[in-house]
Structure 1
Amino acid sequence: MNTVGRRAVLAGLMLPLAAACTAEPKPPPPPDPLAELAEQARKDAAAANALAQSNPELAALAGEIAKARTTHATALQTEVDRERPPVSSTAPPPSTQSTQAPAPATKATMVEALKTAEQRAGALVPTVSRYRAGLLGSIAAGCASLREVLA
């Protein structure tokens, strides 16, 4: 009678386990496209604040644009963090102000920035979930209305 020893059984059980432990790790997910839009919204808000300070005639309107783009950045970042929670709970939140001084803003550069933000948000709508599409559609519409008021 041929018996199987305990060591042979353990070795047979360990082989699949060893293979599972040495498998290639999954590649990290691609960057969230909304994260880039959130960063751009923060930059747009900083540029609008700079415009408000440098141009008294546009101060009120530029201030409203800054407030709206800050709201957009917050909503986008909240969605990015919901979809892909930050790895560390002690990590600082994303900066609400760019570390670089914003480029000198003019009415024309703000109109162009809002147009670009509208187009980029609109282009992503068909590629994301319905909830995210609604968020992006709202942001695109908000940028379009701000652009029209500024123009």
Structure 2
Amino acid sequence: MTGGELTLGAVLARLEEREREIAAQAETTREQITQLTAQLDELGRAAEEVRITRKTLLALPDPQPPAPPALKLPDHPAYRQIMTVFTAADHPLRARQVCEAMDLEIAPNNVRLKLKRLADRRILAETEPGLFTRPRQQSPGIQP
């Protein structure tokens, strides 16, 4: 045999070495597969939790906005009379006009104080100084 020729022992040694390399690569690949399988299982569990959460949230009723508290008029009967005037009015009123609508002796200062008190409680709105009206979004429940 010449120096370039391989002997049967050398070929077998190279094959054995190649077999060990392939076995090592296969073992590394199996370990990677095990790790990836664990990651895949974890992702599957997380996706299922998201699906359950979404299903639960969709099954909940739509939340209703809280009802605004009922507006409470002061106890004096004049306030009920004033509110009757504003219920019938289709435009903002001044204290003098409220007095006239209630057939009162003209005492706008006294009525103006009551109108201001109603505006402070948000039962009426003062659109400009001395001019009062019912708010646009009047609560349906004004309690006497």
TM over 0.5, shorter chain: no
- Which protein has the larger Cα radius of gyration, Structure 1 or Structure 2? 2
Query: TM-score, normalized by length of structure 1?
Result: 0.33
Structure with greater strand share of residues:
2
Structure with greater helix share of residues:
1
